[in-house]
Amino acid sequence: MLRQLFNLRSALALIAVAIVTGTIFYSNFLSKKIEVEEREKINQWVEANKFIATAPQNVDITFASEIQQKNTDIPIIWTNENDSIIDSRNIDTSLIKSNPDFLQQKLKEFKSAHPPIILELNKNPYVADRYYYGDSKLLKQVRYYPIIQLLIVALFIFITFYAISVRNKSTQNQVWAGMAKETAHQLGTPISSLQGWVEMLKEQEGNSTISAEMEKDVNRLKLISDRFGKIGSSPHLEESDIIEQVEKMVAYIKRRSTQKVNFVLDRPEEKVFAQISVPLFDWVIENLLKNALDAINGQGTITIRIKNLPSKVMVDVSDTGRGISKQNINKVFKPGFTTKKRGWGLGLSLAKRIIEQYHSGQLFVKSSEAGKGTTFRIVLNT
């Protein structure tokens, strides 16, 4: 199915390219043909002028006059042998009156467009008229038509791809939201049941240690379910202390790491506030810290820096791990991309969605160097 679709797209693309290419070549052929015809018309017009000027009084000049009058579309400027302008034809007189240099500018343009037609009037002394001409409106339209067509085709392709991209993104968002909500729904029943069992254990003597640990795990499951439930809906943002939330997540990850991992929290002395959804923001920090923990392979330093700027809050999560290769930096946020042997490659993709779609912020790779580590940056608006 995919192969057939790919072949169909390729065929349509080739047909479109062939049509546009054919149009360009045919338009070029027509423009050259019209250009030859127009030069011939100018030649005839010059000859008609010469005939009218030199014809005896008793000679019929009707045919020559008709040729002269028929040229209503090709602009002409004629000069003497020194290129001093004598007169012009088919050029807007209002433009000539409003701009004294207009004819000189047109003359320069005509000189670069076509060689002049020279009408020699006398050899000694040398007297001659030079006829310079430009392109008619028809010739310009034929020449510019392929460019206009290409622009229209390019615009059509852009709109088509944009529409497909928006549709795919909308479908992808619906799938993400549907999966998240269904996961939250499926977790709800067993979590409620586990809460009941924990309460029963608390009532029996000698189970206080077990019930306390089980309650922690059940609360953790409730938090995960709550996070999934908020995906796809408009989260409630409230002003919260970023330092407090980061400290909680660092403490949570620290308890689950080895003694060989060093956590450094570089933070301002005063509190740092931003509008966030606490469960979703915690999820992002947790994902970044877990990725950093995986990158250092159980040994190294994870540094979290919080900066409070006038209108933004920045949170940098850095590690001293293996780093990300240049070819993979643009892929790390794509769903399904992972360098781990185990994992679905959804953590960073979800984190980016949470920060950018729900918090109107930014999440990106600030820097990464192979063998030295990686820094992810979160930017939140205050």
pLDDT of residue 167: 78
Answer whether residue 369 shows pLDDT above 80. Answer: yes
Q: What is the DSSP letter of 240?
A: E
User: How many whole angstroms separate alpha carbon 283 and alpha carbon 180?
Assistant: 14
At 228-239, the pLDDT tens digits run 766 666 678 899
Side-chain-side CA neighbours of residue 358 (13 Å) = 26
Q: Which of 81, 78, 21, 93 is nearest to 46 (CA)?
A: 78
At 193-212, the pLDDT tens digits run 887 887 888 877 777 788 88
- Of the pLDDT bands very low, low, confident and very high (cuts 50, 70, 90), residue 1 is very low
Mean predicted confidence (pLDDT) in 350-374: 89
Q: What is the pTM of this model?
A: 0.53
The residue to which tokens 């338009």 are assigned: 27
- Of the pLDDT bands very low, low, confident and very high (cuts 50, 70, 90), residue 2 is very low
Q: Which of 350, 351, 344 is nearest to 317 (CA)?
A: 351
Answer whether residue 267 shows pLDDT above 70. Answer: yes
pLDDT of residue 341: 56
Peptide bond into 75 cis (omega under 30): no
* CATH architecture of the domain covering 235-381: 2-Layer Sandwich (3.30)
Contact 131, 49 (CB under 8 A): no
At 323-338, the pLDDT tens digits run 888 888 888 887 666 6
At 52-82, the pLDDT tens digits run 777 777 778 888 888 878 888 889 998 988 8
- Of the pLDDT bands very low, low, confident and very high (cuts 50, 70, 90), residue 126 is confident
pLDDT of residue 8: 60
Query: 300-308 and 261-266 as β-strands: parallel, antiparallel, unpaired?
Result: parallel
At 152-209, the pLDDT tens digits run 877 887 887 778 777 777 776 666 666 666 676 677 777 778 878 878 888 777 777 8
Least confident range of 35-44, 220-229, 254-263: 220-229
Return the higher-pLDDT residue of 306 and 224: 306
Mean predicted confidence (pLDDT) in 253-271: 90
Helices (H), the chain: 2-54, 62-70, 93-98, 102-113, 137-203, 208-230, 242-255, 278-296, 326-329, 347-353
Return the higher-pLDDT residue of 289 and 140: 289
Q: Which of 67, 100, 95 is nearest to 85 (CA)?
A: 100
358 token code pair: 């729900």
